Structure 1
Amino acid sequence: MFNNIPPITRNIIIINVIVFIVSYFLPQLNYYLSGYYPFSPNFRSWQIITHMFMHGSMIHILFNMLTLWSFGPILEERLGGKKYLILYFLSGLGAFVLFNLWNFYEIQQLTATLINSNVNVSEIYAKADLTKSNFDFKPYINNEEALKLYIGLVGKMVGASGAIFGVVAAFATLYPEAKIGIMFIPVPMKVKYVMPIVIVVSIFLGISGNGGGIAHLAHVGGALVGWLLARSWKKHLYRFR
C-alpha cells in the first residue's frame, strides 16, 4: 500500500519519520533543527526549512503524516510533482513567516514594557542562548514580562503542520465539494465549509494566547499560502504541467 503513494508524498513521509527517529537518539538535533524566533540567539538560517521535519511527539508526527497521506496523493497527481513540491515548501515557509510576524509584534511589546521598567533586555537575550551553560534566570522569575520574553526566545517551532495545512487548503480550493470526516463530528462535511471554520478558530487561538502550546498562526500562514497558490493555478492546471 505504501508503494502506491506518489513519490514526493512518500519521500516526505519517509524523511519525517527518519528525522523523528534519529532525533530521538540524538536529542541535540532538536536544538539545531527546530525553528526559533529569527532574532533569538538560538536561531540559525537553516531552521526555516528543517523545522518542517521536526516533531515533538509520536502523536504529533502520526497525525501530521496521516493527514498528508490522506490529501497529498490527490494533489500530487492533480498538480504534478513540481507544483506540489512548491506548494508544500512555500506553505511551510508561509507558516514560519506568519507565526514569527506575530512573535515579533508580541516581543516588541514586551521589550518596550521591560525597557520602561529599567530591565536589562540584552541580559535576557544573553540568558536565552541555549548553548551557554551558565543559565540563571532567578533574578527575573517574578517578572511576568521578562519570563514571557525569555519563553519567546527559547520556544521552538516544530512540525510539518504548516506545510500540511497548505496542502489541505489547496485541496479545499480545488475540490470544494469533497466531504471529509472530522473528529467528534459523526457526519462528513464539505471541505469548503470545514476550512474557514478551522482557520477562524486557529486565528482566535493564536492571537488570544490560548493555543495550548500549538502554533495556530503557523497553520493559518500555511493555509493562506496553499489557498493562494491553488487559486492562481486552478485556471491553468492543464495548460502548464
Structure 2
Amino acid sequence: MFNNIPPITRNLIILNVVVYLASFIIPEINFYLAGYFPYSPYFESWQIVTHMFMHASPMHILFNMFTLFSFGPILEQSLGDKKYLILYFLSGLGAFFLFNLWNLIEYQSIYNQLDAIGFNVKDYVSDPTGYLASTKAAIGNNNDLLNKLNSIIFGRMVGASGAIFGVIAAFATLYPDAKIGILFIPIPVKVKYVLPIIVIGSIYLGVTGNGGGIAHLAHVGGAIVGFILARIWRKHLYRFN
C-alpha cells in the first residue's frame, strides 16, 4: 500500500519519520534543527526549513503524516511534482513567518515594559543566569513578562503542521465540495465549511495565548499560503471540478 502513494508524498513522509527517529539517536538534532525566534541566540538560518521535519511526540508526527497521506496524493497528482513541492515548502515558510511575526509583536511589547523598569533584555538574552545574578533591576511583579519572554526567545517551533495546513487549504480551495469525516461528527462535512472554522479557531487560540503550547498561528500562516497558491493555480488546472 505504501508503494502506491505518489513519490513526493511518500518521500516527505519517509523523511519526516527518519528525522524523528534520528532525533532519539542523536538528541542534538532537537536543538539544531528546531525553529527558534530570529532574535534568539539559538537561531540559525537553516531552521526556517528544518523545523518542518521535527516533531514533539509520536502523536504529533502520526497526526501530521496521516493528514499528509490523506490529502497529499490527490494534490500531487493534480498539481504535479513541482507545484506540489512549492506548495508544501512555501506553506511551511509562511507558517514560520506568521508565527514569528506575532512573536515579534509580543517581544517588542515585553521589551518595552521590561526596559521601563531598567531590565536589559539584550543582556539577559545573551546570559540569562549571569544577568539575573548581577542585575539590580526590580523584576517584582513582572515575572509573568519574563516567562513570556523566555517562551519566545528560548521556545522551539517544530512540526510539519504549517506545511500540511497549506496542503489542506489548497485541497479545500480546489475541491471545496469534497466531504471529509470528522471525529465526533456522524456525517461527512464539506471541506469548504471545515477549513474556515479551523482557521478562525486557530487565530483565536494563537492571539489569546490559549494554544496549549501549539503554534496555532503557524497553522494559519500555512493555510494562507496554500489558499493563495491554489487560487493562482486553479484557473490553469482544467481537471478540477
Return 5+ residue gaps in structure 2 as ranges.
none
Q: How far off its partner does 1:184 sit?
A: 2.1
Q: How far off its partner does 1:137 sit?
A: 5.6
Equivalent in the alignment of 1:160: 160
Contact 2:124 2:131 in 1 (8 A): no
- 1:105-184 alignment to 2 at 5 Å? 105-127=105-127, 143-184=143-184
Check if 1:230 corresponds to 2:200: no
Paired residues in the alignment total 234
Contact 1:124 1:146 in 2 (8 A): no
TM-score normalised per structure 2: 0.93
- 1:29-178 alignment to 2 at 5 Å? 29-127=29-127, 143-178=143-178
Structure 2 letter corresponding to 1:227:
F
Q: How far off its partner does 1:60 sit?
A: 0.2
CA RMSD of aligned residues (A): 1.7
Equivalent in the alignment of 1:131: none
Structure 2 letter corresponding to 1:217:
L
C-alpha distance in 2 between matches for 1:135 and 1:179? 56
C-alpha distance in 1 between matches for 2:14 and 2:149? 36
Check if 1:22 corresponds to 2:53: no
- The sequence identity of aligned pairs, in percent, is 65
C-alpha distance in 1 between matches for 2:73 and 2:146? 46
C-alpha distance in 1 between matches for 2:140 and 2:55? 29
* Residue aligned with 2:41, SS: coil
Structure 2 letter corresponding to 1:174:
L
Equivalent in the alignment of 1:194: 194
Q: How far off its partner does 1:27 sit?
A: 1.2
C-alpha distance in 2 between matches for 1:127 and 1:147? 15
Contact 1:182 1:188 in 2 (8 A): yes
Q: How far off its partner does 1:166 sit?
A: 0.2
C-alpha distance in 2 between matches for 1:121 and 1:67? 40
Distance verdict in 2 for CA 1:191–1:135, change over 3 Å: farther
Return 5+ residue gaps in structure 1 as ranges.
129-133
TM-score normalised per structure 1: 0.93
